Structures are given as C-alpha cells and as structure tokens.
Structure 1
Amino acid sequence: MKDELRYKYKIKRKYFQHSRREVADGAISDNVVALFGDKNTFLIYYSFGSEADTKKLIDRLISLGKRVFLPRVEGKNMVAAEYVADGLKKSALGVCEPRGQAYEGQIDVIICPLLAVNSRGYRLGYGGGYYDRYLKNSTAVKAGIGYDFQLTDEFEEDGWDEPLDILITERGIYRFGN
C-alpha cells in the first residue's frame, strides 16, 4: 500500500506545473521565515528532483544569520553537519550531503522532506526510516514542507513513524496535535 502511494505522489509531484511550482516554492519559503524567524538553528534537507525546493530557503536563512545544517546518512542513522556551499558530496542515494563534522548541539527546527502527510502529521517518506529514527530523540520543532496536494488521508501511520508538529505549504501552515 505505502509503496503504491509513494509512486503516486512522486508522479503527482513530478508533473506539478513548473510555473506554479516556482510560485509555490517562494510561498513556502516565505511561510518558513515568517513562522520561524525567531529560531537560530535549522536542519534542512537539500532538495533534489521534484521535492519542494530548499536551496533558496537555505540561502535566505543564512542571509538572515541563521545556522543551517544538512542531514547525512551514516549506516542506518542520520546525523546533522553544517552547510557549506562548496562542501557537499553526492551520496550513494544521489542526495547532496555535507562533508563536515557531525553536529551534536541543539537544533531548533528540523525541516523534513515528504511524499505525502496525513491529517495527524505522519509523513510518507521514501521508506528508509532515517528521519523517523532521527526525529524520535529530538526536541526540535518537526516541520515538513511540501505542496498542498500532498496533504492526504490515504494512508495510516505505522508504529515506528514519528509525527510532524507542522506542515508548511504554499497555502499556509497546518499544525498537528503532537
């Protein structure tokens, strides 16, 4: 069931009209900055493919004096390392990851990728469980960013899934009771 939904939402996202996507990405970025302007440290995925774009958001947060970290997979786990523009490498999964030292300090906001999210705040990810394992022990605000069409109740969460606190889309902010 989840594999079929992953495929469905990858296709929906892939065919989201380019001109609308650019406007949506700008609105998502505006919503993130408006909501989290008082926060200082962010763990943000580095977008690829048809994911909601984070590259301009990362630059914007840095220009506002925020510290930005990117995730890096190490074995079955994920760590955060500080973003340095020329310090990225492609992982075996094709994702750009930071080369730097793993960061052990406080993260204020974690911004997660998603294929879909349900009304209880559980995200449908790519199936590796890296974010769920990372989120489980974090006290940071757990936010997902995506497009409004990715909010759905087509799936139930599993026992190991970790919920988001907030979903930020081009149309606004959805808060979950977690």
Structure 2
Amino acid sequence: MLKPDLRKQALAKRSALTAQELAMLNESLLKQFKTLDLSNIKSIHIFLPIVHQKEPDTFLIIDWLQENHPGIEIVVPKADFGSSLMSHYSFKDKQDLVNNHYHIPEPQKAKPFTGIPDLVIVPLLAFDVKGFRVGYGKGFYDRFLENINTQKIGLSFFDATPEIIDVHLNDIRLDKCITPTGIIDFG
C-alpha cells in the first residue's frame, strides 16, 4: 500500500478504538516492552503521545522505567515545525510538559540532551514486514535518525502491513517493532 492510504487506514482504525480497547492495547505494549534487554542501555529517547490521536501511551513505559530502571536517562523530543527538526531533553516529570499547537506534550525547562541515545522508541501509524514505517509525513524521526547509530524500536497497536510501496531513499528502517502480541525483529 501507499503511505497516504496506510496513514488514512491507521488513523481510522485508531479512531475506532474504544477507551477499554485502547487501555488493553497500551497494557499489552507495556508488557512486551518489559521483555526487552535493557542491561546495556543508559539512555532511551521516547516520543510523548498525542492523546487525541490515540497514540500508544508512552507515559506507561516512562513510569515503568523510572520505577524499575532509575539509572536509565529518559530523553524526550521537542519539535521545531519551521525547520522540521527536533531538539532533545532529559525528562524528569510531567509537570514540565506543555502541549504545543499540535497537542504534542513538550518539555519547557528540562536540561538539553546532547548525546546519542542508546535506544529510540519511534512513533508510527503503520509499518511493514521489512521494518519501514509510516508516520504523519513530516520526516522528523527520519532526519533525527539518519546520522546516528542507535537501536530503533517502533510501537504499534496493529500488525505489519505486507509492504509500503512508496518507501523513500531517506526512510529509516526500524530494528524492531513492539506490538501487543510480540516483538518483531527486522535484523
């Protein structure tokens, strides 16, 4: 399928989820996330959810990491829609977050993170069996990931589509994708 069609289909499927289904899917994603080997991870970059888009609730993962892996630095993004680039900040707590114009929670007073995270949790709307993903189409994560060597893991409520037909040269492939039923390794 083409990206615009996959984007429309994924948004419709998410929109149709009930609050109960959404809660169950988020708990299942967290359960799968807990099985990752984090023994060599010192920092994790994780997107913050756009609630009205019914994105995976990454705050569940953040809360679990803070409780069970307090030595791992959690890094969150802040988008610059003028340049289509992101800056990165050390996450401490939700009180520092304010929703931007697109209802994306962003840090306000957090300390900038200038290193390379060991693992990046990547947002997506859909992904294929080769590890390519469809996002909202702005390219923020592809630009962020193009020049760094780090583990890239997507989060999806739904299974892979067979193929994204219009993969672009600059599209960055995931290493893994977590779904409610398991972790797919594209290695």
Q: Could you tell me how far apart the structure 1 residues matched to 2:3 and 2:155 are?
A: 19
Residue 17 of structure 2 aligns to a residue whose secondary structure is coil
TM-score (normalizing by structure 1): 0.91
Work out the CA distance in 1 between the residues paired with 2:99 and 2:25.
26
After superposition, give the CA deviation of every residue in 1:12-62 in whole Å (9 maximum; x if it has no partner). 112124323222211211221221432231111111231111111111111
Most deviating of 110-119 and 43-52? 43-52
Deviation of the 1:154 alpha carbon: 4.7
What is the number of equivalent residue pairs in this alignment? Answer: 176
Partner of 1:115: 125
1:68 corresponds, among 65, 74, 78, to 74
Shift of 1:160: 1.3
Q: Does 1:163 align with 2:176?
A: no
Per the alignment, in what secondary structure is the counterpart of residue 111 of structure 1? strand
Moved more, 27-36 or 53-62: 27-36
- CA offsets per residue over residues 74-132 of structure 1, 9 Å max, x none? 33211211113211122222201112243112311100111000111011000000000
- Contact 1:114–1:124 under 8 Å retained in 2: yes
Counterpart for residue 147 of structure 2: 137
In structure 2, give the amino acid aligned to 1:34.
T
Consecutive unaligned residues of structure 2, counting only runs of 5 or more, are none
Equivalent residue letter for 1:86 = Q
User: What code does the residue aligned with 1:155 have?
Assistant: I
Q: What value does the CA root-mean-square deviation take over the aligned residues?
A: 1.6
Q: Is the 8 A contact 1:148 1:171 kept in 2?
A: no
Q: Which runs of 5+ in 1 are unaligned?
A: none
**3-state secondary structure, aligned to 1:34:** coil
Using the TM superposition, name which of 16-25 and 58-67 deviates more: 16-25
Cα 1:148/1:3, change in 2 over 3 Å: closer
Partner Cα separation in structure 1 for residue 37 and residue 87 of structure 2:
22
1:40 alignment partner AA: K
Q: Distance in 2 between matches of 1:120 and 1:2?
A: 15
Taking the TM superposition and a 5 Å limit, the aligned residue runs for 1:10-25 are 10-25=11-26
Q: Is the 8 A contact 2:130 2:163 kept in 1?
A: no
- CA distance in structure 2 between the partners assigned to 1:155 and 1:166 by the alignment: 16
Structure 1 counterpart of 2:56, from 52, 59, 68:
52
